[in-house]
Amino acid sequence: MTHAGSLTVEASGASTLVQDLGRPGLAHLGVPASGALDRGALALANRLVGNPDGAAALEIVAGGFRARFAAETWFAVTGAWGELRLDGRRAAPYAAARATPGSVLELAAPARGIRYLLAVRGGVDVPRVLGSRSRDTLSGLGPEPVRAGDVLPIGAPPEASVPLLDQEAAFPPPEGPVTLALLPGPRADWFADAAHRALFDGEWRMSEQADRIGARLLGETLARRVGGELASEATVPGSMQVAGDGRPTILLADRPVTGGYPVIAVVAAASLDAVAQMRPGQAVRFRHA
């Protein structure tokens, strides 16, 4: 197989992972779906360079990333909003740009959001595992985390040309408070009325404990009405489980396939990408979907 090019990573920042749309349909075998946390950003980055929505891209947490292109390559950076430089010159986020052989791309710490999605025309062409190129951080499936020195092959360019998009209807993640829509969870009735009021009326903050498995929130404790243990049951991305200490965690793409804490609510699909971009300390409010 011939590759149109490659990307040599010189600095990988806090975390750089290959992600596509994941491997849904295998939870019954104990395999989480995984995949890009900000799926809208993945699709946008891919569209900007003419790739199919689900082509594999790099999910880069908090910047500090630098890589060199071996050949002429179209790329686009979406998701987190921050300063990007191509050979030292500012390049526009959320737009396709063309790297020439030897060009160096640098992503600084983002001003907004936390996860950049870097798509390259042709996609990151590492081998698939169980149908996906996504790194599953819980099970250790898929390509190893990207490290400095790695050379990532880039696939053959797709049929579609690089589209001449004017501004797509896409906005950078907000700086201020984020509002997330919630649907009732399977165990909503395990919680006291006061817990539901606290959830929807209270002030919440994203904690430092936020990764691809789940994002823990800071705020009031959510009191249970029903005591006792819950037999482990399957969850979905966005399930908000409440641990024994009354603190909620939003479960994300790499969560274990089953969990033993009751799920009070489920983040609506339309709000899930926003969770992926929340920074520690950022304010969040919940509304009914």
Binding site for other proteins (CB under 8 A): 24-31, 129-130, 139, 141, 183-188, 231-236, 238-239, 256-258, 263, 266-269
In terms of CB distance, is 175 or 189 closer to other proteins? 189
Q: Which is nearer to other proteins, 186 or 246 (CB)?
A: 186
Asked if residue 281 lies in contact with residue 244, where contact means CB atoms within 8 angstroms, the answer is no
Residue with Cβ nearer other proteins (24 or 246): 24
What's the start-to-end Cα distance of the chain, in Å?
47
Of 238, 224, 244, the C-alpha closest to 267 is 238
Could you tell me the two tokens for 220?
A: 């009031």
Residue type, 125: D
Minimum distance from CB of 260 to other proteins (Å)? 10
- DSSP string covering 95-108: SEEEEPTT-EEEEE
Q: Map tokens 């002030």 to a residue.
A: 203
Structural tokens at position 109: 């710490």
Are 111 and 170 a contacting pair, CB within 8 Å? no
Helix (H) / strand (E) element for 41: namely helix 39-48
In whole angstroms, give the CA distance from residue 189 to residue 192.
8
Quick one: 13 or 32, whose CB is closer to other proteins?
32
| Choice between 28 and 89, CB closer to other proteins | 28
* CB-nearer residue toward other proteins: 92 or 226: 226
Q: Are strands 283-288 and 178-184 parallel, antiparallel or unpaired?
A: parallel
The span from the CA of 142 to the CA of 132, in Å, is 7
Q: Cβ 133 to other proteins, closest distance in Å?
A: 13
* CB nearer to other proteins: pick between 118 and 181: 181
CB atoms within 10 A of CB 197: 11
Tell me which amino acid residue 105 is. Answer: L
If you count them, how many residues does the chain have? 289
Closer CB to other proteins, residue 136 or residue 150?
Answer: 136
Cα–Cα distance, 107 to 146 (Å, whole number): 15
C-alpha 50/C-alpha 44 separation (Å) is 10
User: To the nearest whole angstrom, how small is the minimum distance from the Cβ of residue 183 to other proteins?
Assistant: 6
